[in-house]
Amino acid sequence: MFGKIMNQFYYGKSGKGDYRKEDLPQNRWELFWEMLKIRLSGLCRLNLMDAISWLPALLVALSAVLNGYSALAGFMELQTAGDPAVAGISLPDVLRGLTLQTLLLLVPCIAITGPFTAGVAYVTRNWSRDEHAFVWSDFRDAIKENWKQSLGISAITGIMPLVFYVCWVFYGEMTKESPLFLVPQILSLTIVAVWMCALTYFYPLMVTYKLRFRDLLRNGLLLTVGRLPVSVGLKLLSLVPALIASLVAIFTPYVQWAVLGFGLYYLIIGFSLSRFVGASYANAVFDKYINPRIEGAVVNRGLYKEEDDEDEKPGPEETIIQP
**Is 323 a member of any domain?**
no
Crossing angle for the helix pair 91-111 and 55-81, to the nearest 10 degrees = 170
Rg (CA), the chain: 25
Least confident interval from 68-82, 110-124, 294-308: 68-82
Is the pLDDT reported for residue 55 higher than 60?
Answer: yes
Is the pLDDT reported for residue 82 higher than 70?
Answer: no
Q: Provide the domain count of the chain.
A: 1
**Is 122 a member of any domain?**
yes
**Is 300 a member of any domain?**
no
- Residues 193-205, mean pLDDT to the nearest whole number: 97
Domain that holds residue 229: 26-54+113-295
For residues 98 and 173, what is the distance between their CA atoms, to the nearest angstrom?
18
Predicted pLDDT of residue 297: 87
- Residues 267-286, mean pLDDT to the nearest whole number: 95
- Residues 134-142, mean pLDDT to the nearest whole number: 94
Q: How confident is the model at residue 21 (pLDDT cuts 50, 70, 90)?
A: low
Closest CA to 31 of 275, 201, 284: 284
Is the pLDDT reported for residue 88 higher than 80?
Answer: no
Crossing angle for the helix pair 213-226 and 271-289, to the nearest 10 degrees = 90
**Is 75 a member of any domain?**
no
Task: Please name the helix (run of DSSP H) or strand (run of DSSP E) that holds residue 180, with its range, or none.
Answer: none
CA contacts within 13 A on the Cβ side of 170: 10
Q: Are 123 and 139 in contact (CB under 8 A)?
A: yes
**Is 150 a member of any domain?**
yes
**Is 67 a member of any domain?**
no
Q: Residues 299-310: pLDDT tens digits?
A: 888 887 766 555
* Distance in Å from the first CA to the final CA of the chain: 39
**Is 78 a member of any domain?**
no
